[in-house]
A = this chain, B = another copy of it.
Amino acid sequence: MSLHVFDAALQLQPQAEGVYLGVTSPAWANMVGPFGGMTAATVVQAIVSHAQCLGEPVSLTVNYLAAIADGAFTLQLRIARTNRSTQHWVFEIQQADSDGQMQCVLTGTAMTAARRDTWGANDLPMPQVPAPHTLPDALIPKSVVWLTRYDMRGVVGGLPQVWDRSESPLPLHEASLSQLWVRDRVGRALDFAALAATADIFFPRVWVRRAHWTPAGTVSMTVYFHADSAQLAEVGSGYVLAQARGQVFRKGFFDQSGCLWSEGGVPLATTHQLVYFKE
């Protein structure tokens, strides 16, 4: 039985204590290099697979320092501190440049925790949207390989059909809002790695905000995992509602705020990004 393409891309070869060798997967190619969500997922998988990992992921920040090149990369992963019920991680990905010098292409930090039952509340209820099976399969540009790995059902805020630089006429809190149902196209079950990848599926908010195609790329992504593995198991290979909206666009950068819910309305993760845009 062959590995699912997502799991195949997560594979790392341990080289030494905290050092892993990986190779980007053509199955997850973006316009340039690999899908950033896949890279984030690779780090998350390395953490949860670590022999000394305490608990489950709660917080993750990944910084994309440069376009990751297709090919080999080295992940360095270190436990910065282990407390009674929480653990902090520091990581970095390096690649050789054209001169053979190792250059840092990604940095980040994460926290895992053994979670306890407490009082809880969901102050981010899932918006009322049509069920995924009532919506058409999104028309995905096949030139972007990683997009074909997902079954996406758009609700609002899809890619502009006309790139006419017409700023959104919607109220500001909807002007760059995208909502879509998403799941792995061939039925891989959701886990922490897949959830991290899903947090990065949004195309740049600036595109929908002003119907203008401009180069853009994620600089920093933070994911707060609210679900534990039991809740992720309940999702299985089902749909997740993914929502993101831009907040402030200024001088080459914008930020977005997002949330991922299970079809049953459970908030699985909240996520934020700082994104570069050219103009």
Contacts and interface: CB of A to CB of B under 8 A. Distances in A.
B111 A248 contact: no
A237 interface: no
Interface string A92-133: 100000000001110111010101111111111100000000
A274 interface: yes
Given A247-B123, A259-B247, A272-B272, A113 B173 contact: no
Given A122-B248, A123-B245, 16 more contacts: A59-B63, A59-B220, A63-B88, A86-B276, A107-B109, A116-B252, A118-B251, A120-B251, A121-B209, A121-B248, A123-B173, A123-B175, A124-B248, A224-B253, A248-B270, A257-B270
B109 A61 contact: yes
A59 B118 contact: no
A176 interface: yes
A125 B123 CA distance: 21
A210 B118 CA distance: 13
A80 B59 contact: no
A63 B109 contact: yes
Contacts of A80: 65, 92, 104, 107
A228 interface: yes
B209 A111 contact: no
A65 B92 contact: no
A263 to B, nearest CB: 17
Interface residues of A, number: 66
A253 B226 CA distance: 8
Contact of A250 (B111, B120, B259): B120
Contacts of A66: 81, 83
A212 B118 CA distance: 13
A266 to B, nearest CB: 9
Contacts of A278: 118
Q: Which 4 A-B pairs have the closest CB atoms?
A: A115-B251, A120-B250, A61-B61, A65-B81
Nearest to A56: B251
B111 A274 contact: yes
A109 to B, nearest CB: 5
A191 interface: no
Nearest to A79: B104
A121 B249 contact: yes
Interface in A225-279: 226, 228, 245-253, 255, 257, 259, 267, 270, 272, 274, 276-279
